[in-house]
Structure 1
Amino acid sequence: MGSTNQTATGEFLLLGLSDDTELQSVIFALFLFIYLATVLGNLIIILAIISDSHLHTPMYFFISNLSFADICISTTTIPKMLVNIRTQDQRITHTGCFTQACFAMVFASLESCLLSAMAYDRYVAICHPLRYTVTMNFHSCSLLILFSLFISSVNVLLLSLTVLQLSFCRDLEIPHFFCELTQLVNLACSDTFISNMLIYIASIIFGGIPVFGIIFSYVEIISSVLKISSVQGRYKAFSTCVSHLSVVSLFYGTGLSVCIGSAVNDSPRKTAVASVMYSVVTQMLNPFIYSLRNRDMAGALRKLMGKMASFI
């Protein structure tokens, strides 16, 4: 069967998480709940930080941007899945699929960079407290955000341009609930060597480098904390990192488990189910982690709820 480039006229089929029709209503209800909880939870975090002047610090500035990225990732992937289940139509246009894949990768890369920037923020605050206000000012934090978004966008632009040059066969079934660039490359009939190499390089840049930066930051943090003579001082210094460490472990831990699982597991559908953890569940849990394990955030949320209740 000859390969034909159908990127302009063809369609992909998103097979979703299960072929069982009896499970479709359960999956729809579950993901609708997850999406609403993700959007509402992260939106409340953003509003709480904006409304409380005590939270106008670099750490909470990064948290609000992380919440925004979480909302964008979930909005990029989940609504289309819900529509497909509701309409019993698995089709997605080539343009829609490439657009979804690009936006999902942009915001996932941005989230990875944000987690690394937050680790650097904690490193400066604990290891170099006297230089903190100078180093982590609003201008430098804004530049970090803009630079992260810029390199994430450039990376996705280069990857998408190479994928758009590929030719696809008629079998355009994607064993996933949303479009991923790796899944699109796997469906190509033409040579995918360059595309795969760029994807591996991008994975190292936006996965390996941020992780290395986070590890380096926390090695320095632990070294500085151990030098504090007071036990209470050690606890207070390290307690500011607990929420960030929890989010980092959840994001990278689930992502790594999916990578390992896909390497040893021959079932793409099982890999798709496992990817729900890092692409959906993590974004829902992040606001709960920051609100439950952070007294300042919990206080800001109580104030926000009081304002909303009085307004209503």
Structure 2
Amino acid sequence: MFNTDCCCKAEGNEVVEVVWSENPKFFRGTDKSSYTPLFGAVLGSNLDENSAVPRTAPSESTAPVAPLHRIEARSEPSTKQRGPPLPVFEEEAEAALQPPVPSRPETPVAAWSYHDSPKEAEPELPANFSPASRADTTERHEMPQEGTFIVNLEKVDGDDIGLDFDTMDAKVLLVSQVRRSGLATRWNATAAEESQIRPFDRLLEVNGCGLLPSAELVDVLQDCDANIQLRFEHPDVREFSITPDGRKLGLGLEMSKMTPSLRVRKLDPAGAVHLRCSEDNAPHMKPHDRIVQVNEESDNVARMAKQMVSREVSFKIYRYTLEMESSVIQAI
């Protein structure tokens, strides 16, 4: 469909104005030497004495142009040669001729929630927990509850918590060391064995605040004073062996500087480990797992990595409960 009521005004080779009117009489009585239809090849061509509309319909080779409202010229005409108008689909040209539809007022949209059920009210944090005002405590994943334990510490001026952390994995904040002195060691002296803090335990929450990147969760802990409640998770210990048969293991790994472990970042779909998981229909290894022993080697990351070229490889793995993510890294 063509719109014959759209004309342009040009100065030399530079189009300085484009005018569209629903009334064909809009251009009558105007200076026709200054206006030409968009389909005219030469300025002033194909114009009769009473109209700025071409006498003959444009040829099939001429590309249709959607109607436009007035477009003002640029302050400085460009010297670059302009090409022919770009083609427009017929449906788009017809849609542009339709009267504008009044826009409806936007309806407020409820805040996004991971769960389909109505969002529950967020738990109130203790009044003495100042970092909660800047921390995002909105739950997007379910926090693991089974297999976790609570640690309550009473902090006074000058007390040190006595914990060092491995923040390499933004999703999994691990205890790298329990110092000989501090609130954590004091807690372990009286707590039951299953509630004692040990290296490779994962810190989940600080005073009810969790699901933060590892480094931010450490900051929240450092800003706490008085009573502190921590939720930890012991790792799930897993072991499995594999014979690669000349195939690469296909593991994307990262060496930790704080704990003697290798963090699994990716499994190559063509690698031996991923294929073994598919064959057994079992997740022998996943991203965010920590490899703590390879064959008989442990406590030394470099020697553990060298063992992975053996004919048969046995792994000891620590796993944690969380939403898994995969990331791109060069496979071994």
TM over 0.5: no
What's the TM-score, normalizing by structure 2?
A: 0.18
What's the TM-score, normalizing by structure 1?
A: 0.19
Higher RCO (C-alpha under 8 Å, 6+ residues apart) = 1
The structure richer in strand per residue is 2
Which of the two has higher C-alpha Rg? 2
